[in-house]
Amino acid sequence: MLTTYAYDDKREAIEQWTHDPCGFSGAQGLEIGSKAFYERVDKNRYEEYAPWMKTTLEFAKFPGKKLLEVGFGMGTDLFQFAASGSIVSGVDLSPEHLRIASQRFVTYGLPADLRLADAEALLFADGTFDVVYTFGVIHHTPDTQRAVDEIHRVLKPGGRAIVGVYHRYSAFFLFSVLLESYLLRLRFLRESYRRTLSRIEHRQHSDACPLVKVYSRRSLRHLLRAFRDVRIECAHLDRPHFGILGRCLPEAFVRRLESRETLGWYLIAKCTK
């Protein structure tokens, strides 16, 4: 019989990303805080992992605008906005994320207001920001609706939100996580569904069990119902996302599927308040 645990979701998140900072594995062996470290992190994220990110996530679109990132990680994406002229602020739960991200902005001489804070209780007045960006974050917090409501609150009227979450009907979730990992490898006999989903996050230096949620287009749109305009895109599909079935799929076929924006791992909502 499987043992049922009562998890402190936010404590698990702090443990996860304090011991294994988001994106750190792509730059192991380099001195944290050095330009070589941050350049390697960028190369891993924007060239090797997801070349679509810089364009799709609109890093260069908001010069002179006040922009908040909810869950800034090592500051990788937030730095792209800042380098393009945005006036940036950010919040994150992990002290290690805060340390590494702060050092990045110091190293490159760019200003940023970075704070240790909770996505469900943003430390800013109503209508503070022109843009709020959050990617791969709010599906880890227990009250995701509250986090979305906070994003809406701190945006100015007419402000823009860019929200990225994991996609329930992606090839990665359906084939690699559910079919191969959970069912064919019989993980359901040894561990909880939550533990299996937590393995989606890179984990090397702790046994944390972060909360992981996945969303359909419909459920994401419901989360964002307070916004007057919501457009949802789907991105990031690779052959390994199909699990063992991926070995039989031609790369050209996978690329055609990706262009249809149906089976990608991320749903990205672009919203107007």
pLDDT tens sequence across 15-35? 999 999 988 877 888 898 899
Are 140 and 200 within 8 A, CB to CB? no
Average pLDDT, the chain: 94
Residue 27 has a pLDDT of 83
> Closest Cα partner for 137 from 194, 192, 88, 78?
78
Q: How far apart are CA 166 and CA 152, in angstroms?
A: 20
Q: What is the pLDDT of residue 221?
A: 98
pLDDT tens-digit map of 89-142:
999 999 999 999 999 999 999 999 999 999 999 999 999 999 999 999 999 999
Lowest pLDDT segment from 43-47, 146-150, 200-204: 200-204
Sketch out the chain's domains with CATH numbers.
9-272 (3.40.50.150)
| The predicted structure's pLDDT at residue 228 | 93
User: In this predicted model, what pLDDT tens digit does every residue of 176-199 receive, in sequence order?
Assistant: 999 999 888 888 888 999 999 999
pLDDT at 11 over 70: yes
Whether residue 165 contacts residue 267, with contact meaning beta carbons closer than 8 Å, is answered with yes
Q: Give the pLDDT confidence score for residue 1 in this predicted structure.
A: 43
Residues 6+ positions from 29 with CB-CB distance below 8 Å: none
Q: 33 - beta bridge partners?
A: none
Would residue 58 be called left, alpha or beta, if left means φ above 0 and alpha means ψ between -120 and 50 degrees? Answer: left
pLDDT number for residue 5? 64
124: tokens are: 């800013």
What is the model's pLDDT at position 168?
97
Q: Which residues share a beta bridge with 115? A: 91
Question: How many percent of the chain have pLDDT more than 70?
Answer: 98
pLDDT at 23: 86
pLDDT at 272: 98
pLDDT at 264 over 80: yes
